[in-house]
Structures are given as structure tokens and as C-alpha cells.
Amino acid sequence: MEIVLALAIGALTASGLWLLLRPRTFQVVLGLSLLSYAVNLFILAAGRLRTDAPPIVGRDGPVDPSLYADPVPQALVLTAIVISFATTALLLVVLLASRGLTGTDHVDGEEGDQ
């Protein structure tokens, strides 16, 4: 399972980074989204991978913590997802404003030398 997750993170990061360096604003937005997926998976992996282990402890008495998954990275991921979603939405608005004001979707607001 580790190798699958690692490959997924790697593929997402690589394609995100490539898109981030492209000249069109929409590609940049997509690149940032892919990168943020990669980072979210990475945070989840930082809490060690477990299957079939709940992160929330029940109310009935003392429990064995080794049976449970680490809840902290999951909470972090939730926060990170919300924040990256919001900032991506904001970036999309700026993208549209930039397209409207400059008439091009190039990141510099003007077409570079071909």
C-alpha cells in the first residue's frame, strides 16, 4: 500500500509542478490544485498508514491506543483541504479579472516572445 500511495503522491506532485510552470493561468490553477492534493495525501501519510483503524476513541473506558489511527493528521488534512479550496477559488476570481483586464490568459498579462 505504501508504494501505491508514494507513487500517487509523486505523480501528482510531478504533474502539478509541471503545470505550475506553464504560461497559461488556468494551467497554473490546475497545477496548484494537483499539488495541494499531493500535499494532503502526504500529510495523511505523515500519521503512518493504517487500515481498518478508526481515529476516534469511544466513550467506554480506557482503550488501547495502538488499535486506533492517529487523528491529528486527519484533522490537519481537513483544515488544509478547506483552506486550499478557498484560496483556489480566490485565485480563479483573480484569473478571470486578469483575463478581463489584460485580454489574455498569459500569466504575465501579455504574450511573451514566441
Cβ density class 76-110: b for 16+ within 10 Å, e for less: ebeebeeebeeeeeeeeeebeebeeeeeebebeee
Q: How far is the CB of 94 from other proteins (least distance, A)?
A: 5
Q: Which of residues 42-61 bind other proteins (CB under 8 A)?
A: 42-43, 45-48
Q: Is 19 in the site for other proteins (CB under 8 A)?
A: no
Q: How far is the CB of 61 from other proteins (least distance, A)?
A: 19
Q: Which residues bind other proteins (CB under 8 A)?
A: 20, 25, 28, 32, 35-36, 39, 42-43, 45-48, 72-73, 76, 79-80, 83-84, 86-88, 90-91, 94-95, 97-98, 101-102, 107-109
